[in-house]
Amino acid sequence: MRKKLFSLAIPALFVAAVVVSCKKDKPLTSESNEVTTTKDGSQYTLDTLNSKVEWKGYKVFKSENTSHFGTIKFESGDVTVKDGKLESGKFVADMNSLTSVDLKDSPEDLGKLNGHLKSGDFFEVEKFPTASYEITKVTPATEGDYNTLLDGNLTIKGITKPVQFKANVSVKEGEVSVATEPKDIKREEFGVKFQAPAENGVIKDEVTLQINVKALEKK
């Protein structure tokens, strides 16, 4: 049961960890976008109670029957607005808050799963306790369901790579909201290469990540 549980949920947890970086450790790679955004404008602070990452991972095939899903909370973050538009932002997530929502009614299984995934076998939360996504470029989108393209640098387990999200960005009186598209990320690119025994099924490399944040203007 344990092997089966972990093999099903590993890819899902990677999604939550998709924003993981260590405050103390320098990135192991330098593959990243040049930051073209600035702090020139009005400053907003992340509303951590109303911001989260949603994740979903899959075993063998991408379907609702072979997926696990959950959330991770943000520790901090900031956004800059210039001339009424999003200018820049950086979001830092607390890896220790990572949890599986679909296992919430099974405390024993949930505890085992979360503990294993936070260990050195996977995301090394003790060494890499936080996660980050820094926006490097903001481009208005004129077509499709999203009004903005966000280019940014994603850091997981000390590995930084450029990742682009489509997003809906709203700037209102005193509040900014950013809701990204569900985005597939390849966990192995960030050093998460664990595979369960073959009899338990193949774990998909792709995991799905969605970021939802709100930020309030500094008074």
Instruction: At 19, list the tokens.
Output: 């924003």
Q: Distance between CA 190 and CA 158 in Å, rounded? A: 8
Does 20 have pLDDT greater than 80?
no
- Say what the pLDDT of residue 100 is: 85
Does 152 have pLDDT greater than 80?
yes
Percentage of the chain exceeding pLDDT 70: 78
**Which conformational region is residue 196 in: left (phi greater than 0), alpha (psi within -120 to 50 degrees), or beta?**
beta
Closest CA to 84 of 186, 170, 190, 183: 170
One-letter amino acid for residue 161 of the chain: K
- Say what the pLDDT of residue 6 is: 43
DSSP letter string, 2-42 = HHHHHHHHHHHHHHHGGG-B-SSSPPS------------SE
Cα–chain center distance at 26:
19
Does 92 have pLDDT greater than 70?
yes
Rounded to the nearest 5°, which phi and psi values hold at 42? -80, 140
Lowest mean pLDDT among 17-26, 36-45, 190-199: 17-26
Does 25 have pLDDT greater than 60?
no
One-letter amino acid for residue 84 of the chain: G
**What spatial distance separates the first Cα and last Cα of the chain, rounded to whole Å?**
52
Mean pLDDT (the chain, rounded) = 82
- Say what the pLDDT of residue 193 is: 75
- Say what the pLDDT of residue 62 is: 54
Q: What average pLDDT does the segment 158-179 reach?
A: 95
- Say what the pLDDT of residue 3 is: 46
- Say what the pLDDT of residue 110 is: 87
Q: Distance between CA 83 and CA 25 in Å, rounded? A: 36
Does 197 have pLDDT greater than 80?
no
Tell me if the pTM is above 0.85: no
CA distances from 214 to 28, 35, 173, 178 (A): 30, 22, 13, 7
Does 167 have pLDDT greater than 90?
yes
Task: Decide: 51 and 213 in contact? Cβ < 8 Å.
Answer: yes
Q: What average pLDDT does the segment 15-23 reach?
A: 40
Residue of 30 and 88 predicted with greater confidence: 88
Quick count: other Cβ atoms within 10 Å of Cβ 185? Answer: 24
pLDDT interval class at 11 (50, 70, 90): very low
Closest CA to 163 of 175, 177, 149: 149
Lowest mean pLDDT among 55-64, 75-84, 136-145: 55-64
Residue of 10 and 211 predicted with greater confidence: 211
